[in-house]
Amino acid sequence: CKAPEEIRDVSYDDRYDSTVLDLYLPDNDTAARPAVMLVHGGAWFSGDKNHFERAARRLARSGYVAASINYRLVPEGRFPRAAQDVGCALAFLQGHGTEYGIDPRRVAIMGYSAGGHLVSLLGVAWQVDELEPDCAAGRPARPAAVIPGAGPHDLRDTEHGVVSDFLGGTPQEEPERYALASPIVHVGRDEPPFLLINGGADWLVDVDQSRAMRAQLRAAGNQADLLSLTGGGHLVSHGSDPGEVQFAVALDTPEAWLAVADFLDRTVGAP
């Protein structure tokens, strides 16, 4: 299999310099392929689409179109702008299916940490008016599947400076904004299937956040699974050798990749 074709810095919203994505196109001639949109972490104020470069190449070698996106960061990307950007990027990919060989009905979204929060929110609130993008691509259609890695799903009682910076105040000052930004608040019927992935020893985003989101999704009749990686932290996980630890997010572990491959095959279908 040849290396994927890479198209860098495609603008999905021409109004801003930061609203660009990198496309990784597989070496096949299929006209309507499944795709995965990747959303980086960085506590909403840092990070870059290059963080998912290896993952995007791996997905493209497997036959998926992969798109790793940038979005506006705090302070410019203060909520709801970052969430609107992620929705705009999804709408752009869905609207350019013919150009990039994407089946718009088979676009999964995957993110880590802050990116995990943003894809989780998009997965259950893509139709919420307060989060609708005002970009040319417009409102996205429902994503086909959602893979949040170590993302916070309930921000309502979170006392943390990074969250306050993102949401523009404390939970006491902005309770409605904290609720609007919490994916767990928006869960209803007929949500996309979710695969939640979390390190069992993640001290930054406790696995209980993912457990609660799974429970809420299932209670509403949705498909939701959780992979809890024993001993895995937020940025440090077990390596391939016994006793080895490595700097790697939970989504980069072999266990996670096996689960993701199986989940994508069951939800968006094989490439």
pLDDT tens digits, 169-186 = 999 999 999 999 999 999
The fraction of the chain above a pLDDT of 90, given in percent, is 79
Tokens matching residue 263 = 């989940």
Q: Are 188 and 220 within 8 A, CB to CB?
A: yes
What is the end-to-end Cα distance of the chain in Å, rounded?
14
Tokens matching residue 186 = 């928006």
Tokens matching residue 102 = 């994407």
Return the H-helix or E-strand segment holding 41.
Answer: none
Which pLDDT score is estimated for 204?
Answer: 64
Instruction: Report d(CA 44, CA 9) in Å as an integer.
Output: 20
Instruction: Report d(CA 45, CA 75) in Å as an integer.
Output: 7
Q: Are 93 and 100 within 8 A, CB to CB?
A: yes
pLDDT reading at 29 higher than 90: no
Distances (CA, A) of 29 to 12, 105, 268: 24, 18, 18
Residue at token pair 């299929």: 30
Which pLDDT score is estimated for 230?
Answer: 56
What is the arithmetic mean of pLDDT over 102-107? 97
Tell me how crowded residue 136 is: count the other CB atoms within 10 A of its CB: 13
What is the arithmetic mean of pLDDT over 5-24? 98
